[in-house]
Amino acid sequence: AQSVTQLGSHVSVSEGALVLLRCNYSSSVPPYLFWYVQYPNQGLQLLLKYTSAATLVKGINGFEAEFKKSETSFHLTKPSAHMSDAAEYFCAVKEVAGAGSYQLTFGKGTKLSVIP
Partner 1 sequence: SQTIHQWPATLVQPVGSPLSLECTVEGTSNPNLYWYRQAAGRGLQLLFYSVGIGQISSEVPQNLSASRPQDRQFILSSKKLLLSDSGFYLCAWSATGAGTDTQYFGPGTRLTVL
Q: Which residues bind partner 1 (CB under 8 A)?
A: 9, 32, 34, 36, 41-46, 49, 51, 90, 94, 97-109
d(CA 37, CA 59): 11
The DSSP output letter for 108 is -
Nearer to partner 1, 29 or 99 (CB): 99
Nearer to partner 1, 62 or 111 (CB): 111
Q: Is 108 exposed, middle or buried (0-12, 13-18, 19+ CB in 10 A)?
A: exposed
Nearer to partner 1, 81 or 87 (CB): 87
